[in-house]
Amino acid sequence: MSSIIKDGGPAFPGFQQTEGCGAIRYVYGPEGQLHAEHYDPGMTLRDWFAGQALAGFSVGDNAIDCLPDEPIEKAVKRHWSLLAKTAYLAADAMIAAREKGNN
């Protein structure tokens, strides 16, 4: 049985004048013309937190260790895969702390 991942909801929701998904509202522009705005939920808060954590991880000492006879491409993929998983663990911890009011 899989558990639901708490994503914190939208990070930057809003209405835009471009076509998209979700709710539509009609508004009058400055010259009185009616146009549609589409709701764009944006990325999730979890993705935003993970991206911020990953950006922080990439600033420090990020030496990539290659295993014997391992191509550099494989080592890089392994390295960043581990950092990405760690970033989402950090994001999950931030959302949990936020829900508990530890902000």
Instruction: Provide the pLDDT for residue 48.
Output: 93
pLDDT tens, residue by residue, 25-59: 767 777 888 777 776 677 889 999 999 999 988 88
Contacts of 73 (CB under 8 A, 6+ apart): none
* Of 76, 37, 32, 82, the residue nearest 57 (C-alpha): 82
User: Tokens 């959302």 label which residue?
Assistant: 95
Query: How far from the centroid of its chain's Cα atoms is residue 96's Cα?
Result: 16
Q: Identify the residue with better confidence: 8 or 60.
A: 8
What pTM value is reported for the model?
A: 0.64
Segment holding 39, helix H or strand E = strand 34-40
